[in-house]
Amino acid sequence: MASKSRVSILDYFNIVCEGENGKIESNCKACGTRIQAKRTVTSNFRKHQAMYDEFVRKKDVKREAMQMCTGPPTGRVISQSGAGMNKFDYSDPRQSLISEAIAKMIIRDLQPAQMVEYEGFRELLQLLEPRYIPVPCHYIQQQLLPAYVSQVQLAAKQALKGAESCSVTLDLWRSSSVGNNSGAGFLGVTCHFINADWHIRSALLACLPLPDHSNTQQMLSEFDEISESHGISGKVFRVIADLSPCENRSAFRLPGFNLIGNGEEDEEDGSDEESSAGEAISSNENNKSLDQCLGRSRIDCFARLLAQCVKEGVCASPQISVPLNKGAHLYNYIVATVAPEKLVQVFGSSTSTNWQRPSSIDKWNAQLKILRQMVESMDFLEDIVDRTDLVLGNLEKAELRELVEVLEPFEEASDMVQGDKHVSISLALPCVLGLRKHLAEVVTHQCSGIVMGLSQALDRRLAGILEDPLYVTATTLDPQFKLSWSSDSDWHKQVLLEEVGKHARPLSPIENHSEAQPSPSKRCKLFSFIKQRPTAQAKTVEQELSTYLHEEPTDEDPLQYWKRKSIDFPLLSQVAKKVFPVPATTTSVDQIFNLVSKTLRPEQCRLLPKNLDTLIYLKANYRILWS
């Protein structure tokens, strides 16, 4: 807003063009005289004495006003009632922009709307822009936020009108700080679809308070109402659901490698072991109930299953926690005592600002990156540490090196499926095959128990993907893979044909005719003497698939490929448009739930905002409002 109130020489001239040698050619607003002046020279401006005097007067007024705004040396802000400075009108665009910026901050940081009435916040506003009229809390809660909600709902419904099909993710969050009812929580319903331009879009359709998170029927009833109100009933292809509450499936961390500095969370996790076991039983019952209600349309989140495999594999070797714990103490010590510029060569300059942020390293794959950087620079780190008790022994270093080597492909798979803008479901099956091959070939001396645990977890949790028609279809329709991964291409080809037969809509004669229509120039009488080419006959599914598989695999983006090939392969492209929006990773609302679980906790003296569901809804859909 400062630029709006700045007193500038250029306010008195209409700029015509910028000439050579940095000269600005302009017309005087008063007399129309053409003048030239360098950027830093005002001598020509002084030729127009009346305007120059006005310019100097305004500069003096602005300087006096700034001094009055600053107040005495004590830093106390003086009221502007007698300063001769008028407040913004409520219709002033600058008033609206500042109010909107405050609302955006409340949404992004999940802050209570009451903060706009805090004395310190109002003093800050007074210092930054004295002309702004602070808005009351109820204006944010009852007008601004509901208006944003209406905007998002309208945009989401409009976008979903053109979607032929979609997939939905159900996320559940429960926190003991929600209220006295320990079963209360929130249900997030996220929709994924491909628009007419073949871009994947995701939108949180609703974030609903749930009095009882264990009531699966209530959740499904809410889901049906949301589907009906957004016009996606009958369009839902797959439902990705894991109804274990977010707070109880918090991000897995490497044992002992807490990286937060005091180990408090480890103790807290141990104290909640019994309640977590009870929640696990409850969530298993919820998931069984979901399977009965949703049938084959319900699937698990691949990224979450992958994290469970890593957890079970690492926990299969309890002795690894000793070097991990020692490595964590070393990390915490160097971050607390060593100057950041010395650590740039270890952790890189791009991440130096996040070294001491627990939120940036609360997941196993993020921790593994830190651990790898430490292992690669262990000699340097030990040289700058003045405590011998933190130095790792040769055996401990070897164990950590092997652990990094074993888990690196799992980290790569986890990173690969992240994001909601690209096709991720087609990557799941090749990832499982690659991980199987890696575990069969890796040679270890210290981590053989982890390798065995990972192999067993992979077979138990992810082996079904290799025969699941959804994953077979998605991987085969990804032009970079096709059937190059298959050990039984005939069988997988038959699986794909069956899936296309189920989900592809046969083209009507009108659609076939419209696609085969010649150009207008060839239909006119003037060119009637030219022999027309015979109309191409519609291909069968078998013919489309045969032609598609005959082409060489390409690294072209799957969405752009099928946008380009939708005319050549109309039936296959229909199935691709159904399958590709299915996410293999977690949603933005799930990440927000994790953030809320870490930051809004009773022991941290942060209360949940009363309209938390609205804030979560708007934060997850932030790009729709302010892209």
Share of the chain above pLDDT 90, in %: 44
pLDDT at position 493 is 95
Average pLDDT over residues 163-187: 74
Share of the chain above pLDDT 70, in %: 68
The neighbouring-strand residues paired with 620 are none
CA distance 380 to 429: 40
Least confident of 207-211, 218-222, 503-507: 503-507
pLDDT at position 60 is 57
Model confidence at 523, in pLDDT bands (50, 70, 90)? low
Residue pLDDT, tens place only, 461-514: 999 999 999 999 999 999 999 999 999 999 999 999 999 988 887 766 545 544
* Encoded tokens for 301: 């989140």
pTM here is 0.75
Residue type, 330: L
CA distance 513 to 524: 18
Kindly report the number of other CB atoms within 10 A of residue 274's CB atom: 8
Which among 451, 119, 184, 188 has a CA at the least distance from the CA of 310? 451
Model confidence at 193, in pLDDT bands (50, 70, 90)? very high
Model confidence at 125, in pLDDT bands (50, 70, 90)? very high
Between 535 and 234, the more confident residue is: 234
pLDDT of 533 > 70? The answer is no
Given strand 200-210, what is the order of strands in its sheet?
A: 200-210, 185-194, 166-174, 236-241, 298-299
Least confident of 38-47, 225-234, 421-430, 468-477: 38-47
CA distance 331 to 169: 37
Q: Yes or no: say if 586 and 593 are a contact pair by the CB < 8 Å rule.
A: no
CA distance 593 to 619: 11
pLDDT of 442 > 90? The answer is yes
Q: Yes or no: say if 65 and 2 are a contact pair by the CB < 8 Å rule.
A: no
Q: What is the mean pLDDT of the chain?
A: 78
DSSP track, 331-392: HHHHHHHS-HHHHHHHH-GGGGGGTT-GGGG-SHHHHHHHHHHHHHTHHHHHHH---GGGPP
Model confidence at 363, in pLDDT bands (50, 70, 90)? confident
Between 35 and 241, the more confident residue is: 241
CA distance 509 to 488: 36
pLDDT of 74 > 60? The answer is no
pLDDT at position 420 is 73
pLDDT of 536 > 60? The answer is no
Do strands 166-174 and 13-18 pair parallel, antiparallel, or not at all (unpaired)?
Answer: unpaired
HSE at residue 102, side-chain half, CA atoms within 13 A, is 27
Least confident of 219-223, 241-245, 278-282, 440-444: 278-282
Residue pLDDT, tens place only, 559-616: 999 999 999 999 999 999 999 999 998 888 888 888 777 766 544 545 567 788 999 9
pLDDT at position 66 is 44
Residue pLDDT, tens place only, 388-435: 888 889 999 999 999 999 999 999 999 999 877 789 999 999 999 999
pLDDT of 46 > 80? The answer is no
Sign of the Cα torsion 51, 57, 60, 64 reads: negative
CA distance 298 to 242: 9
Please tell me the total number of residues recorded for the chain in this structure: 627
Q: What are the residues whose beta carbons fall under 8 Å from the beta carbon of 178, sequence distance 6 or more?
A: 184, 185, 608
Kindly report the number of other CB atoms within 10 A of residue 194's CB atom: 24
| Residue 250 backbone zone (phi > 0: left; psi -120 to 50: alpha; other: beta) | beta
CA distance 236 to 260: 41
Q: What are the residues whose beta carbons fall under 8 Å from the beta carbon of 115, sequence distance 6 or more?
A: 106, 121
Sign of the Cα torsion 472, 476, 481, 484 reads: positive
pLDDT at position 356 is 46
Q: Coil, helix or strand for 303? A: helix
SS3 content of the chain, % helix, strand, coil (to 5): 60, 10, 30
Between 289 and 442, the more confident residue is: 442
pLDDT at position 359 is 40
Angle, CA 493 vertex, CA 487 and CA 494 arms, to 5°: 120
Q: What are the residues whose beta carbons fall under 8 Å from the beta carbon of 85, sequence distance 6 or more?
A: 65, 68, 69, 130, 131
Residue type, 283: S
pLDDT of 269 > 50? The answer is no
CA distance 616 to 190: 12
Q: Yes or no: say if 436 and 462 are a contact pair by the CB < 8 Å rule.
A: no
Residue pLDDT, tens place only, 51-66: 666 666 665 554 544 4
Element (H, E) at 394: helix 394-416
Element (H, E) at 204: strand 200-210
